[in-house]
Amino acid sequence: MTEPPSPDEHLTAAELAAKYGLTVSGARPSLAEYVRRLWGRRHFIVAFSQAKLTAQYSQAKLGQLWQVATPLLNALVYYLIFGLILNAGRGMTKDVYIPFLVTGVFVFTFTQSSVMAGVRAISGNLGLVRALHFPRASLPVSFALQQLQQLLFSMIVLVAVACAFGSYPDLSWLLIVPVLVLQFLFNTGLALVVARLGAKTPDLAQLMPFVMRTWMYASGVMFSIPIMLQDKPAWIADVLQWNPAAIYMDLMRFALIDGYGSENLPPHVWAVAAGWAVLVAVGGFVYFWKAEERYGRG
């Protein structure tokens, strides 16, 4: 006696999956659902960033002191080369130029480190990505958070340098908080972008130091862009001043340094800073989310 034909035997695999409510394993969730899942992993993101921060200098005898010593030593080298030999601080007194330089180095290092960590966020953690199911954006976000925590340690030295050269706590110092928030959003978005690119092209990690070095020299870390380019076409200085790295550095300098007034800032600087932060954070998040199901699959 033959069995009656199954009502499902002529259905394709896709039709069967739809009929019984099956979904593809690892399929990308909707954007709203992805945000919800990411928020649900917030404790993991914080713990992971803190663990990475603690482990970063665990083999060094000075330990976490290198979080402050490294950018400070970079600032010293830049001062010897650009400040003393090349006179890059012309137009500024020593009491303004040294805090100007140290602030620039610390703030740019925040962005630079976020990008360098972000580009390896997926490709450098493939074991974790392939073994566990979680929103992959957790990794670049946690690395950006790690760099924020590192900058907060460095801010102790930055405040000490500012005070040592005559810039004492004032109401303008309250502006440090919104500057850091905006820069963190910008850095996180940028880390998400390079994380997706680095996941597909691991060699990007070798190229990125050259990109970041060029960006640093073009952002006025060691010199004032308007003063250094005063004999050049005005549009060159405008382009360099409007780039986000220069914007966040100048806002931090304006907040911290008494002799660095608003005349050194481009017009509508806060609107531009917020615009860069929102554009890159939202755009970077969506860009990363669109490839969610491809991370770790070779």
pLDDT in tens, 142-167: 999 999 998 988 888 889 899 999 99
| SS3 call for 206 | helix
Enclosing H/E stretch for 230: none
- CA 109, chain centre distance (Å): 9
Look at residue 59 in the predicted model and tell me its pLDDT. Answer: 67
Global confidence as pTM? 0.88
Least Cα distance to 289 among 185, 139, 136, 120 occurs for 136
Q: What is the mean pLDDT of residues 77-105?
A: 87
φ, ψ (nearest 5 deg) of residue 27: -65, 150
pLDDT, greater one: 139 or 69: 139
Look at residue 79 in the predicted model and tell me its pLDDT. Answer: 87
pLDDT in tens, 247-286: 999 999 999 999 898 888 988 999 999 999 999 999 999 9
| SS3 call for 264 | helix
DSSP state of 246: H
The encoded tokens of residue 250 equal 């100048």
Region of poorest pLDDT, from 2-16, 44-58, 118-132, 154-168? 2-16
pLDDT in tens, 36-71: 999 999 999 999 998 888 887 666 666 667 777 777
Question: Which amino acid, 110?
Answer: F
CB 274 within 8 A of CB 189: no
Exposure of 94 by Cβ count < 10 A (0-12 exposed, 13-18 middle, 19+ buried)? exposed
Least Cα distance to 221 among 121, 115, 83, 93 occurs for 83
pLDDT interval class at 7 (50, 70, 90): low
Alpha-carbon distances, residue 14 vs 8, 27, 29, 65, 290 (angstroms): 12, 14, 18, 57, 22
CB 202 within 8 A of CB 128: no
Look at residue 24 in the predicted model and tell me its pLDDT. Answer: 53
Q: What is the mean pLDDT of residues 91-98?
A: 87
Look at residue 155 in the predicted model and tell me its pLDDT. Answer: 87
CA Rg value for the chain? 24
Q: What is the mean pLDDT of residues 111-118?
A: 95
Q: Where are the alpha helices (DSSP H) in the chain?
A: 13-19, 31-40, 42-56, 66-78, 94-119, 126-131, 138-164, 176-200, 204-217, 225-228, 234-242, 244-256, 269-289
**Hey, where are the domains in the chain?**
30-294
Look at residue 202 in the predicted model and tell me its pLDDT. Answer: 87
